[in-house]
């Protein structure tokens, strides 16, 4: 029996122009470039400009992905958006993105934090495998900066804003999404959350005065969880694919903290050059993190036709997600080369 899998045929990204460096943060909060770099590996992060919204950033990345895939918005059958920082409480940002793109397909949002885009990719794969849809757009987009307390150096130094997207279509040549794993441990949810602003603790003057509308994180607990899941999830998805870690051409982990990646690499007995890292430029962009890294890996020639890629994410929930993807070999149209552009790469 021929197996249809979700095969990546287009990709794109959008990164805001505004940059906040470690030196900039040192003027705002009690920290330093050395302190941040030593503990996280992050040097700078991009944050939204005056005209950037979750919708506009997602649309910019999506248009590039459609160009690379050689598709128009009218040809999309489904849009999946991974996002935890919507423009409005409701409706879903996916609805605004669908409208701004000019698409006429269904659209919905997955709120799974930093794991959200891998959740979205695996969901797209199910629709493609069943034959329900052919052309699916999967977007990861976050404006995390709106939820940062710039008096809290344990969180404000970590995050940035970005969007990235892929188009997936059916492949029957063995390429595409080979295996995936999704997980959640809600008993640890309070280690990374926003305690105010929801229905339990609605927005009020007290919430604002207590700064409960900002992200709060138990960094040590999250780091322990992240290392554990990065290791176990990556081992699990490669085993399910009938592979060993040595068979992976590249591993793209969630870009949260370089020390987490380095520690996991030691546990896995893998060299760091097996891992793609771009967090020094962007920080943790949550649901945009893995697709942004994937797009840059393609642009830099680190991902080539026929390569097998491991993806692994962890985030709020606390959640985790992993996948093994084999890149296809057919040529696609190239997106224009510009500040956020692309070279022509076969996928």
Residue 102 and residue 43 in contact, taking contact as beta carbons nearer than 8 Å: no
Q: Is 233 a catalytic residue?
A: no
On whether the CB atoms of residues 335 and 67 are closer than 8 A, the answer is yes
Q: CA-CA distance, 71 to 302, in Å (whole number)?
A: 25
- Asked if residues 2 and 172 have their Cβ atoms less than 8 Å apart, the reply is yes
Residue 284 annotated as catalytic: yes
Exactly one of 125, 284, 340, 342 is catalytic; name it.
Answer: 284
Beta bridge partners of 319: 184, 315
Active-site entry in 46, 83, 95, 114: 114
The rounded distance, in Å, linking the Cα atoms of 28 and 20 is 11
Q: Which residues pair with 179 in a beta bridge?
A: 324
Q: Which of 7, 46, 254, 342 is catalytic?
A: 254
- DSSP H helices in 210-340: 219-240, 258-268, 279-282, 289-299
Q: Is 280 a catalytic residue?
A: no
DSSP state of 338: S
Q: Which of 291, 194, 281, 241 is nearest to 5 (CA)?
A: 241
Give catalytic residue positions: 114, 254, 284
């Amino acid at each position: 029996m021929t197996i249809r899998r979700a095969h990546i045929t287009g990709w794109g990204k959008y990164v805001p122009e505004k940059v906040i460096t470690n030196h900039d943060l040192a003027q705002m909060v009690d920290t330093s470039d050395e302190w941040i770099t030593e503990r996280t590996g992050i040097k700078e992060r991009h944050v939204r400009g005056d005209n950037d919204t979750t919708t506009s950033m997602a649309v910019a990345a999506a248009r590039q992905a459609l160009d690379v895939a050689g598709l128009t918005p009218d040809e999309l059958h489904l849009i999946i958006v991974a996002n935890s920082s919507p423009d409005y409480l409701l409706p879903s940002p996916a609805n605004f993105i669908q409208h701004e793109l000019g698409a006429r397909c269904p659209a919905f949002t997955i709120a799974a934090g930093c794991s959200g885009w891998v959740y979205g990719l695996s969901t797209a794969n199910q629709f493609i495998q069943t034959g329900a849809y052919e052309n699916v757009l999967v977007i990861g987009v976050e404006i995390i900066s709106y939820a940062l307390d710039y008096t809290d150096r344990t969180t404000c130094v970590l995050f940035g804003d970005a969007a990235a997207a892929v188009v997936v279509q059916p492949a029957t040549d063995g390429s595409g999404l080979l295996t995936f794993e999704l997980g959640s441990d809600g008993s640890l949810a309070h280690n990374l959350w926003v305690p105010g602003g929801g229905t339990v603790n609605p927005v009020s003057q007290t919430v604002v005065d207590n700064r409960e509308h900002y992200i709060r994180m138990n960094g040590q607990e999250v780091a322990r969880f992240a290392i554990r899941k990065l290791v176990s999830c990556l081992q699990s998805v490669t085993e399910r694919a009938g592979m060993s870690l040595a068979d992976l051409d590249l591993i793209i982990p969630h870009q949260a903290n370089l020390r987490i990646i380095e520690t996991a690499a030691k546990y896995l007995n893998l060299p760091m050059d097996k891992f793609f890292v771009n967090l020094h430029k962007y920080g943790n962009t949550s649901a945009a993190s893995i697709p942004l890294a994937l797009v840059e890996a393609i642009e830099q020639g680190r991902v080539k036709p026929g390569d097998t890629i491991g993806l692994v994410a962890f985030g709020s929930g606390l959640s985790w997600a992993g996948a093994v993807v084999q890149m296809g070999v057919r040529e696609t149209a190239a997106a224009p080369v510009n500040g956020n552009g692309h070279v022509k790469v076969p996928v």
